Structure 1
């Protein structure tokens, strides 16, 4: 992913617009890992040949350096990803259903960060990488919950949507690394908190930590990584955004979930009365978002 990015219609993005991946994973990123973290994080890179356009988009680091026109021409070389971007732009989330027919307009509507996040997700959807059970259900609910809660937590809704969409990336990587073991782990631990504890016991790190390490390695902005890094810091408002989003998600998708008071998770930024419309919006839009993302 360090070579010049060449796409359809001779679109070329210069080397200085490409993220330079680290040669290895510094132990500081995942100090407790009991597996080859570099090999796991590199597993998506090895699949780049299957989705070269997606890999090139992931490699881009500066949204301002790639205009909507150039990005749409690059994107057009991947029909499946193009379809997903167009479907997302026409989804209820953006309120433009049926009005976005141009790929360039679709890129403008959803934004560079979202296209890049979708490209990253696309690399986990190859034939070589199976996804955990309920991956899309959790990811779509989490993305919408993050986006809906974002204004109360001091974040941009668009960035929060991307962060929520990518939060399950670490789970996909662990599942690819250890499909049988991780499948058993997720089946036994439905609660996100319990599952993270089981992940730490088995792998030395939990899936959200692995996601954060991957996003740092690929040059995602620190504002998108901070909520992942600070998930377990009860004083962190950034971490509170993701904690609150996990709670909203579990209230909607995990049977028998015992609600945790939302104010405890969000540093008192969100109250129970506030979460009612959030639950309604996420419940209403999740299926539409899932259809767009799955293609």
Structure 2
């Protein structure tokens, strides 16, 4: 039987092993935290600090090679992004041996698609990047806690939409809802978790951006994928022609984002 409380308590155990990352997740949302304070904490975790620097100097932020201090890097990428990267570290999403197959291929595509599409939905690209990076956290937690069973489930359901239905049947919760529960536990803003909860309601504008991003990611990462009309998924906000530059942008930026997130 799937035990949600056990899964969430396992996150606390992980956090104890990555105290700096856990502290960043805790303080980054505080009104009292400045870039100076956050970079001071971040400096204690060399690997995580290096990833933030790499991301700040990536093509995504347009600052190639110009970010030379950690405090400036925190300012460039933003507190939410630093908090997201700390969450990736403390939940061991940076250890590919513990993740579902193709986890980061899908995640980087999802994150960049969310970010690229964000202005069409009146959203901030950096916030959309973060929700895309964290959306699959629940899938990773299911995999951590039922490795063989979840591997079978993903093999049987390569399409993430039908997979979520199968997750609900098997575990009593789907991966996106589990992501939302975990982020709520850490005090991430309600605006992020609401979007996760609304993805499977095709009539909901709240979930339209992430639904569109999942479709882009599926087209790029799922073999023999049967495409779904993008207008239907996005409440008419996007047409198929709109996706051509998005698919190109995601293909171009995915490897660099992956390297920054994983420290490769």
Using the size of structure 1 for normalisation, the TM-score is 0.85
Change (3 A) 1:63 1:149: farther
1:136 deviates by 1.1
Residue in structure 2 matched with residue 235 of structure 1 by the alignment: 203
Distance 1:222 1:42 in 2: 21
Distance 2:140 2:56 in 1: 25
* 182-191 or 74-83: bigger deviation: 182-191
5+ unaligned residues in a row in structure 1: which ranges? 1-33
Q: How many residues align?
A: 262
Cα distance per residue 1:239-295 (max 9 Å; x no partner): 111110000001111111111110100011111111111111011000000000011
Q: 1:137 aligns with which of 95, 105, 113?
A: 105
Distance 1:288 1:281 in 2: 12
Distance 2:78 2:28 in 1: 13
Distance 1:283 1:144 in 2: 9
Q: Secondary structure at the match of 2:62?
A: coil
CA contact (8 A) 2:28 2:79 kept: no
RMSD: 1.6
Distance 1:63 1:218 in 2: 12
Cα distance per residue 1:213-235 (max 9 Å; x no partner): 11111111111111101111222
1:62 deviates by 2.6
1:61 deviates by 5.5
Residue in structure 1 matched with residue 21 of structure 2 by the alignment: 54
Residue in structure 1 matched with residue 172 of structure 2 by the alignment: 204
Higher helix share: 2
Aligned pairs (5 A) from 1:90-101: 90-101=57-68
CA contact (8 A) 1:124 1:131 kept: no
1:195 deviates by 1.2
Residue in structure 2 matched with residue 65 of structure 1 by the alignment: 32
Cα distance per residue 1:79-116 (max 9 Å; x no partner): 11011101111111111111111111110000000000
Distance 2:173 2:7 in 1: 12
Cα distance per residue 1:30-87 (max 9 Å; x no partner): xxxx621111122111112221100111112635321111100100000110111011
Cα distance per residue 1:104-137 (max 9 Å; x no partner): 111000000000011001112277x811111111
* 183-192 or 157-166: bigger deviation: 183-192
Cα distance per residue 1:168-192 (max 9 Å; x no partner): 1001110111111111211222111
